[in-house]
Amino acid sequence: MLEKQKPKILSENNNAIAKDNLMLIIIIGVWLIIVLYFDPKILEYLYKQSLFAKFALISFLICVNIFWFYGIYHLVIAFFSAFIVKPVLAPLTTTNSPQVALFYLTMNDFQENAVLSCLKQDYKNFELFILDDSTDRNYQHKIDCFIQHHPNVKLIRRLNRKNYKAGNLNNALNTLYKDYAYFAISDADGILPENFLKKLMPYFNISPKIAFVQANQRWNNTQKTEFAQNLGLNTDIHWKYYVPAKFKYGFLMFYGHGAIIKSSVWKQIHGFPDTVTEDIAFSSLLCEKGYKGTFVPDVVCLEDFPADYKAFRKRNQRWIKGTIEYLLKWYPKLLFSRNASYIEKIDMLISCGILLQSVIFVIFLIIVSIILPLSAKLFYLHIPLIVTFAPLKELTAAYSSGVYLYCSWSMEFFLIMLITSFAQFAPLGLRFFYQPVNVICYYANFTFICLSSCVAGFIHLVSFLFTRNSYFLATGQTNKKITVEEKIIFALEIIFAFLLIYSMIKTANVWLLTAAAALLLSPFIYKKKSGYLCLNILIYLPFILIIGIIFFIVISLI
């Protein structure tokens, strides 16, 4: 087993923030080896096929190649974060304490313990501002009461709540940026350590090109909801196994909270962009201008995971629509910027692609459940990539009552599909041995939210392309009424689920049942209230089906 190497302290911090292409070379290199090995074997089936059949197979192959790429990406970046020596910035101190404006942002989600963590900073020159966009009078009253008990905290409310979080920040900074050389941002659920400002501020002395300093984050495990308890590890995985490697080997972005930003840079790029994913767009504009950020792993803030499935879907909707908006509006500028390295340009595109994988997955399901079977039936395209449950003719006489597994997968194709499909689970591999129940709960719940959200993600993308509307709903804020768009999504999820079931019956492709089960459960889990034990158990069904299918494949291949 590889042992973690001790971080190397670099004497020249400017070298520490320089980018290295090693990780990207390994990702692309391993992916190309896999593609060059498997693609020619699959393309053999194009010989003497019709145009429609060729289209079906090539479309299938493109989707599979994308899945392989992201599987390799997840494995390599987790490996680099865990084992490869990462540059650690030499400890810094400063004799002066520049004035900092600390912004606590809230919209109908005020948490007193979070704002108190902002107030208790061990830094002598800062002021705390509550930027309140709340529309709920109860939350406004709570904030007013807090201000009465803490008169040194300043409150800013705006009459016009345009442009989401970016508008809230820009509204405050338009009048404050001249008085504060730096500003820090904390979300409504963010818990800051007492040394947050004190430890992060010195890192601006590394270089005049440092525009922001990003602290580490972990999931706040005091959350009480079962959904958050089962999936909160997702936050830890990202910050422990993805962000550290991006600091040196990819694109380090400002995450919208738990960070300090230089006010002069904010002014130079004309404020936060008016988009629901202002953090991505802001980071891109900084990079385009030649500015960098730095990551401080030993300063750890806490944040909440969405409390329930509905809140998760709302956040996912914002991310998907915001990512598409960013790719169309801001990414081209980064792509052609001379100040951004090719490493940052490629990694930013890859990162955006991760948020859009649900769209590719829906296309893949359509290909596998409709286009490929139609090609095979009408154009005699037979592809040995489908697992089927069917009675084998030669065994029927002896075992007339049995149903046996016929698997036409080769061992190497099965292994690469298995490894890349479960790549995101790899960081918790060792943890499984001492916390098996927690890890299995996470695996099962993560599988469900990925499968059940794919149709919604596809619709959100199409919706934005037609409407160019990226309506923002704060993660902690949920509408009680089901919107028309949500009803349409529920209907399409159920229709698509039954289509997958019908295709499974016709083609005996049992893999389709896993996605169908998740999609059928999705509307019920979305609407459910606490206490529905049956639905909580059914969330595990797609994962159980996947494990069962893999078990039978392994048996057939041994």
The tens digit of pLDDT for each residue in 22-43 reads 999 999 999 999 999 999 988 8
Structure tokens at 490: 């529920």
HEC letters along 57-81: HHHHHHHHHHHHHHHHHHHHHHHHH
In a domain, 348, yes or no: no
Q: Copy the structure tokens of residue 545.
A: 């089906």
| Cβ contact 352:331 at 8 Å | yes
Domain annotation covers residue 292:
yes
Domain C-terminal end among 316, 333, 350: 333
Q: Residue 477 above 90 pLDDT?
A: no
Higher pLDDT, 344 or 406: 344
Q: Residue 262 — pLDDT band, cuts 50, 70, 90?
A: very high
Arithmetic mean of pLDDT, 300-319:
95
Q: Find, among 499, 542, 545, the residue nearest to 517 by Cα.
A: 542
Q: Which domain holds residue 141?
A: 87-333
Quickly state the pLDDT bin for 403 (edges 50, 70, 90).
Answer: very low
**Which amino acid makes up residue 60?**
F
Place 483 in a pLDDT band, splitting at 50, 70 and 90. Answer: confident
Q: Is residue 341 part of a domain?
A: no
- The number of C-alpha atoms within 13 Å of 262 and in the hemisphere containing its C-beta is 21
Percentage of the chain surpassing pLDDT 70? 86
Which range is least confidently modeled, 332-341, 428-437, 517-526? 428-437
Residues 112 and 126 in one domain: yes
pLDDT range class, residue 414, cuts 50, 70, 90:
confident
Q: What is the pLDDT of residues 208-234, one digit of tens each?
A: 999 999 999 999 999 999 999 999 999
- Of the pLDDT bands very low, low, confident and very high (cuts 50, 70, 90), residue 15 is low
> Tens digit of pLDDT for each residue in 103-131?
999 999 999 999 999 999 999 899 999 99
Same domain? 59 vs 185? no
Residue written as token pair 């859009």: 356
The count of other CB atoms within 10 Å of the CB of residue 132 is 24
Question: Same structural domain for residues 296 and 327?
Answer: yes
Average pLDDT over residues 10-14: 50
Q: How far apart are CA 341 and CA 247, in angstroms?
A: 13
Q: Give the mean pLDDT of the chain.
A: 86
- Inform me whether the pLDDT recorded for 402 exceeds 80: no
What digits encode the pLDDT tens for the residues 233-248? 999 999 999 999 998 8
Nearest in space to 77 (alpha carbons), one of 268, 323, 246, 219: 246
- pLDDT beyond 50 at 5: no
Same domain, 41 and 120: no
Is a pLDDT exceeding 70 seen at residue 12? Answer: no
Please say if the pLDDT value at position 475 is more than 70.
no
Residue 347, in any domain of the structure: no
The pLDDT value recorded for residue 458 is: 94
Task: Decide which of 298, 314, 333 is a domain's last residue.
Answer: 333
What per-residue confidence (pLDDT) applies to 93?
A: 61
Instruction: Indicate the pLDDT class of residue 85, thresholds 50, 70 and 90.
Output: low
In this prediction, what percent of the chain has a pLDDT beyond 90?
A: 65
User: Is residue 3 one of the residues assigned to a domain?
Assistant: no
pLDDT in tens, 438-472: 999 999 999 999 999 999 999 999 989 888 776 65
> Is residue 77 domain-shared with residue 126, that is, in the same domain?
no
323 and 456 part of one domain: no
- Residue 181 resides in a domain: yes
CB 409 within 8 Å of CB 553:
yes
pLDDT, residue 377, reads 59
Task: Give the model's pLDDT for residue 471.
Answer: 63
How, if at all, do strands 259-262 and 182-186 pair? antiparallel
Handedness of CA 523, 524, 525, 530 (dihedral sign): positive
Q: Is pLDDT at 8 greater than 60 in this prediction?
A: no
The domain tally of the chain equals 2
Same domain for 281 and 224: yes
381 and 316 fall within a common domain: no
Q: Is the domain of 74 the same as that of 95?
A: no
Do 524 and 498 lie in one domain? The reply is yes
pLDDT of residue 258: 97
> By mean pLDDT, which of 127-141, 376-390, 435-449 is the weakest?
376-390
Task: Report the side by side order of strands in the sheet with 292-303.
Answer: 154-157, 126-132, 100-106, 182-186, 259-262, 210-219, 292-303
Mean pLDDT, residues 138-166 = 93
Q: How far apart are CA 34 and CA 40, in angstroms?
A: 11
Looking at the structure, tell me whether residues 299 and 415 fall in a common domain.
no
Q: Is the pLDDT of residue 351 over 70?
A: yes
177 — pLDDT class (breaks 50, 70, 90): very high
- Same domain for 244 and 98? yes
Residues 255-276: what's their mean pLDDT?
Answer: 96
pLDDT score at 385: 47
With 0-12 / 13-18 / 19 or more C-beta atoms within 10 angstroms meaning exposed / middle / buried, residue 450 is middle
| pLDDT grade for 3, boundaries at 50, 70 and 90 | very low
Q: What is the mean pLDDT of residues 331-353?
A: 96
Q: Is residue 338 part of a domain?
A: no
The confidence band for 531, taking pLDDT boundaries of 50, 70 and 90, is: low
Looking up residue 103, the CATH number of its domain turns out to be 3.90.550.10
Structure confidence at residue 87 (pLDDT): 56
Distance of CA 200 to the CA centre of its chain: 25
Q: Which of the listed residues 315, 333, 351 is the one where a domain comes to its end?
A: 333
Question: What confidence score (pLDDT) does residue 92 get?
Answer: 58
Q: Give the separation between CA 174 and CA 254, rounded to whole angstroms.
A: 20
Asked whether residue 109 is assigned to any structural domain, the reply reads yes
